[in-house]
A and B are shown apart, each in its own frame.
Chain A
């Protein structure tokens, strides 16, 4: 099966490419990774045999390049979402699928407009947080380190293709998609997007198992599962310790 990684030359911050690499290595040769660069036509544009489309955190300039590169395929992406294609979008790549990014000077960067969100970017006020919460019945841990937070646009004001989706994760400690909600990221059918950054699957063996099952690989085990679980359990314990601070800086 195939995983398509969008724009690894710019969407490569915080080791997020390791998310796909970890799945690939866990699946022991059953996953082929297709890397699509900014100047190439995405594989998904003409094919329906992609198990997962992945895009991770990028620079602010990278966000604009990604919007430009994906805009010609907006209708195809919407079609894939309707058809239940699995997408995993992490970090500030989530903002690319919203309506726009609002800058400090009041100007807006138009985005794909698939979902009714906008992001507020504050370049001198970085938002740093540890995060623990749940995906369905399993614990998820992670980090946020962002210049932007997203907000939903009211139904009567949205211009997006899709209406407001549901949350992807529920925060136990830490915020959701912005500081006023515990709903972290969003999900529509199998389009899943989260602000959590970093090598999410390596940090979360339980989530990795779910992802492998979801991709039709129920027999695959997370690579170094025992060590990953030990590290995960310690992290869960730390993050639930009320003496551990949760936001930084």
Chain B
């Protein structure tokens, strides 16, 4: 009966892939959903590639797994992944389905799977990755993820003991998950911009997990990211197996030293969180046996996905789309911290209400007061545009952060806000957007781009 169900599920799902392709609906989770509906243990029965790499963590999962896929592509290797699907069980089923033949056996040799941390209990019993990259653990959705200790607990309970972990040693929460597993530790050595005391509202690693004493940070990059030790017991950050250092922002490179030597690698973006992603990707490939010289060439070809960061120059103006995941205080803080340090005067267009929640309930806004909106109170940020269903909450939060009222444009209607906020020649507009309203983001971006073209006298009839 089990086999019958499995093959029915496999063939029906395969047929649905074909139908979706014909109707140009690629990249949905429907085939995986259908397969699980027909055969609830489909994930355990479907064939798996020889090498499975999983990427999980609060932030950087998509970027990191896409970078890994790009690197394999640079090696000329074909991989399957859930790049265009979801990172839940159904998305992973869809990905493995794509790679399987009609017999259910895998035709692919490598899978790169991005996994939502909360899905670990449903996925890891059936999929045993050879390597698991854990990017970091921070506060995320309060409703789903509660707090980072909770997610660390879920991962520890569910990560297969055979998986080798690639962890961020600068993150004292994520680097300690699944303590019995073999792991390699990555990190970025002390930077001139590092501090000692936390300057952020979120700081989730203040006390020693062994003895409860206040941790001493040797240096801190942001939040709980840095190097720390306990003054009263032997607890400390892991030593690096892969150490990032000498970041050259002009030439966009980072040097990474491991036990066999040092390589100079291309970084696809100059934000520190993307440099972490690059170091972790390099560590993974070194663990897979890729020689430094080959890896250096491969890393030249990796990119940050456009949905994460893209910029268009329009005369003296520019429009930048910056991912700042909704309801994620950390992601919005990191995006703001990055943007505020860029040169030039900026206007921030905040499209970060949770549009999924808007459909049938009202967003939990606690995250706004965990997020460092204080960073938007910056002399180079000339305006913050608050839009969407939570526009009034954003306005209140910005006032609370010290942003002068005259710098705030508040309008619940997003498109109207895009049409009406003050825009001048020379402005750089940053659209902060989440991942659940791409059509709305595109509409607002197009409106702002058109306005920029008009101001700059570029385009038809100008």
Residues in chain A within 8 A of chain B (CB atoms):
9-10, 12-15, 18, 22, 37-39, 59-61, 65, 123-124, 126, 128, 130, 143, 145, 147, 197-199, 202-203, 223-224, 227-228, 230-231, 234-235, 238-239, 243-246, 248-249
Residues of A within 8 A of B392 (CB): 227, 230-231, 234
Give the CA-CA distance A143 to B142 in the complex, in Å: 10
Give the CA-CA distance A123 to B144 in the complex, in Å: 11
Interface with A: B60-68, B145-153, B163-171, B238-246, which one?
Answer: B145-153
Task: Kindly list the 7 A-B residue pairs having the minimum CB-CB distance in the complex, ordered from nearest.
Answer: A15-B369, A198-B366, A245-B361, A9-B206, A14-B366, A231-B392, A128-B143
Residues of B within 8 A of A248 (CB): 143, 357, 361
Known: A15-B201, A37-B214. Is A126-B207 also a contact (CB below 8 A)? Answer: no
* B369 CB, nearest partner CB in chain A, Å: 3
For window 126-160 of B, CB contacts with A under 8 Å fall at 139, 142-144, 146-147, 149-150, 153
Give the CA-CA distance A157 to B307 in the complex, in Å: 59
Interface: B258 (CB within 8 A): no
User: Contacting A145 at CB < 8 Å: which of B143, B207, B369?
Assistant: B143
Q: What is the chain A residue whose CB lies nearest that of B209? A: A61
* B375 CB, nearest partner CB in chain A, Å: 16
Given contacts A12-B203, A13-B139, A224-B399, 10 further A-B contacts (CB under 8 A): A9-B207, A15-B370, A38-B207, A59-B147, A124-B121, A145-B142, A145-B364, A198-B365, A227-B395, A231-B396
Interface: B8 (CB within 8 A): no
Which secondary structure dominates chain B's binding surface?
helix
**Are B364 and A202 in contact (CB-based, < 8 A)?**
no
A–B pairs, 9, beta carbons within 8 Å = A60-B149, A126-B143, A130-B362, A147-B146, A231-B395, A234-B392, A244-B362, A248-B361, A249-B144
Residues of B within 8 A of A239 (CB): 362
Give the CA-CA distance A235 to B392 in the complex, in Å: 10
Interface: B213 (CB within 8 A): yes
**Are A10 and B207 in contact (CB-based, < 8 A)?**
yes
**Are B207 and A14 in contact (CB-based, < 8 A)?**
no
* B93 CB, nearest partner CB in chain A, Å: 21
**Are B213 and A39 in contact (CB-based, < 8 A)?**
yes
One digit per residue, 1 when the CB lies within 8 angstroms of any chain A CB and 0 when it does not, for chain B 196-234 equals 000001010011000011100000000000000000000
Residues of B within 8 A of A243 (CB): 360
Known: A18-B369, A38-B212, A145-B142. Is A227-B396 also a contact (CB below 8 A)? Answer: yes
Give the CA-CA distance A176 to B365 in the complex, in Å: 21
Residues of A within 8 A of B153 (CB): 123
* A140 CB, nearest partner CB in chain B, Å: 15
* B416 CB, nearest partner CB in chain A, Å: 17
Q: What is the chain A residue whose CB lies nearest that of B392? A: A231
Give the CA-CA distance A246 to B212 in the complex, in Å: 38
**Are A202 and B396 in contact (CB-based, < 8 A)?**
yes
Give the CA-CA distance A235 to B149 in the complex, in Å: 31
**Are A145 and B361 in contact (CB-based, < 8 A)?**
no
Residues of A within 8 A of B421 (CB): none
Give the CA-CA distance A249 to B357 in the complex, in Å: 11
One digit per residue, 1 when the CB lies within 8 angstroms of any chain A CB and 0 when it does not, for chain B 337-374 equals 00000000000000000000100111011111110000
Residues of A within 8 A of B147 (CB): 13, 59
**Are A126 and B360 in contact (CB-based, < 8 A)?**
no
Among B144, B357, B365, chain A packs the most CB atoms within 10 A around the CB of B365
Residues in chain B within 8 A of chain A (CB atoms):
121, 139, 142-144, 146-147, 149-150, 153, 201, 203, 206-207, 212-214, 357, 360-362, 364-370, 392-393, 395-396, 399-400
Residues of A within 8 A of B144 (CB): 126, 249
**Are A227 and B399 in contact (CB-based, < 8 A)?**
yes
* A39 CB, nearest partner CB in chain B, Å: 7
Give the CA-CA distance A126 to B147 in the complex, in Å: 12
Give the CA-CA distance A124 to B158 in the complex, in Å: 13
* B411 CB, nearest partner CB in chain A, Å: 13
Give the CA-CA distance A11 to B400 in the complex, in Å: 22
Residues of A within 8 A of B207 (CB): 9-10, 38
* A149 CB, nearest partner CB in chain B, Å: 15
Residues of A within 8 A of B150 (CB): 59-60, 123
Q: What is the chain A residue whose CB lies nearest that of B364? A: A143
Residues of B within 8 A of A123 (CB): 150, 153
**Are A235 and B362 in contact (CB-based, < 8 A)?**
yes
Give the CA-CA distance A42 to B364 in the complex, in Å: 32
User: Contacting B400 at CB < 8 Å: which of A124, A223, A246?
Assistant: A223
Give the CA-CA distance A123 to B156 in the complex, in Å: 14
Residues of A within 8 A of B393 (CB): 231
* B119 CB, nearest partner CB in chain A, Å: 12
Give the CA-CA distance A187 to B322 in the complex, in Å: 46
**Are B212 and A202 in contact (CB-based, < 8 A)?**
no
Give the CA-CA distance A239 to B399 in the complex, in Å: 24
**Are A39 and B362 in contact (CB-based, < 8 A)?**
no
* A35 CB, nearest partner CB in chain B, Å: 12
Residues of B within 8 A of A235 (CB): 362
* B140 CB, nearest partner CB in chain A, Å: 12
Residues of A within 8 A of B370 (CB): 14-15
Residues of B within 8 A of A246 (CB): 361
Give the CA-CA distance A145 to B164 in the complex, in Å: 34
Give the CA-CA distance A15 to B330 in the complex, in Å: 13
* B101 CB, nearest partner CB in chain A, Å: 36
Among B150, B153, B361, chain A packs the most CB atoms within 10 A around the CB of B361
Residues of B within 8 A of A227 (CB): 392, 395-396, 399
Give the CA-CA distance A147 to B154 in the complex, in Å: 14
Q: What is the chain A residue whose CB lies nearest that of B393? A: A231
Q: What is the chain B residue whose CB lies nearest that of A143? A: B364
Residues of B within 8 A of A9 (CB): 206-207, 214
* B335 CB, nearest partner CB in chain A, Å: 18
Residues of A within 8 A of B367 (CB): 15
Give the CA-CA distance A197 to B146 in the complex, in Å: 12
Known: A223-B400, A231-B392. Is A126-B146 also a contact (CB below 8 A)? Answer: yes
* B42 CB, nearest partner CB in chain A, Å: 22
